[in-house]
Amino acid sequence: MSDILQQLEIRRDEARMGGGQRRIDVQHSKGKLTARERLEVLLDEGSFEEFDMFVAHRCVDFGMDKQKYPGDGVVTGWGTINGRMVYVYSQDFTVLGGSLSATHAQKICKIMDMAMRNGAPVIGLNDSGGARIQEGVDALGGYADVFQKNVLASGVVPQISVIMGPCAGGAVYSPAMTDFIFMVRDSSYMFVTGPDVVKTVTNEVVTAEELGGARTHTTKSSVADGAYDNDMEALYEVRRLFDFLPLNNREKAPTRPFNDTPSRVESSLDTLVPGNPNAPYDMSELVRKLADEGDFFEIQAEFAKNILTGFIRLEGKTVGVVANQPMVLAGCLDIDASRKAARFVRFCDAFEIPILTLVDVPGFLPGTGQEYGGVIKHGAKLLFAYGEATVPKVTVIVRKAYGGAYDVMASKHLRGDFNYAWPTAQIAVMGASGAVEIIHRADLGDADKIAAHTADYEARFASPFVAAERGFIDEVILPHNTRLRVTRAFASLRGKQLKNPWKKHDNIPL
| Residue 49 identity | E
Q: Is 99 exposed, middle or buried (0-12, 13-18, 19+ CB in 10 A)?
A: buried
Q: Is 170 an active-site residue?
A: yes
Helix (H) or strand (E) segment spanning residue 383? helix 375-388
Cα 304 off chain centre by: 13
- Give catalytic status of residue 275 as yes or no: no
299, 226 contact by CB (below 8 A): yes
CA angle 211, 168, 185 (to 5 degrees): 55
**355 three-state secondary structure:** strand
Q: How far, in Å, are 8, 229, 335, 424 from residue 276 at the CA level? A: 74, 39, 27, 11
Instruction: Name the catalytic one among 155, 194, 316, 404.
Output: 404
**Residue 379 vs residues 393, 396, 429: alpha-carbon distances, Å:** 19, 20, 17
- Gap between the Cα atoms of 420 and 394, Å rounded: 8
Catalytic residue among 18, 19, 169, 431: 169
| Catalytic residue from among 170, 194, 373, 434 | 170
Beta-bridge mates of residue 303 = none
User: For residues 274 and 271, what is the distance between their CA atoms, to the nearest angstrom?
Assistant: 7
Among the options 380, 405, 428, 467, which is catalytic? 405
Determine contact, residues 480/265, Cβ cutoff 8 Å: yes
Mention every residue, 6+ apart, whose C-beta is less than 8 A from residue 180.
158, 159, 160, 161, 225, 226, 241, 299
Nearest by Cα to 147 from 110, 181, 176: 176
Give the active site residues.
169-170, 404-405
